[in-house]
Amino acid sequence: VETGDAITIHYDPMIAKIIAHGANRADAIRKLDAALADTVILGVTTNIPFLRDLLAHPAFQRGEVTTDFIEREFAAWQPRREHRDAALIAAALAETADHTGAEPASHRIDHDPWQARDTFRPGG
């Protein structure tokens, strides 16, 4: 999955993940949070706001988590207003863009993976 790709309903919802590396835990967390902040997914609900709140938790940042961490610390979690607002704005912009008819041919995405112009080859 690359920037600008469109994934149809015919694909596994676990098609991609974001991985961040850093010199230390704090650096990796900062890079992962930045990557999540730059990620826009339209049409489905994602756990991006939850993941960003998880990354911001002081105990997570210190690496002081156990198997019950999420249940204990995030049992009543709800997305913050700015997360909901950002999702609504992104959806509205996407809806507007879909109806302008001004999309250049170079920006159109072919949803057929067999027609993709890349180096992917089945079986190798």
Please list the pLDDT of the chain residue by residue as tens digits (124 residues).
777 787 777 777 777 789 999 999 999 999 999 999 988 877 777 889 999 999 999 999 999 999 999 999 998 888 777 666 666 777 777 777 655 555 555 555 555 665 666 665 666 5
b/e map 49-61, b = 16+ CB within 10 Å: beebbbbeeeebe
pLDDT in tens, 41-54: 777 778 899 999 99
> Which pLDDT score is estimated for 43?
72
pLDDT tens digit string along 99-118?
555 555 555 555 566 566 66
Give the per-residue pLDDT at 51. 94
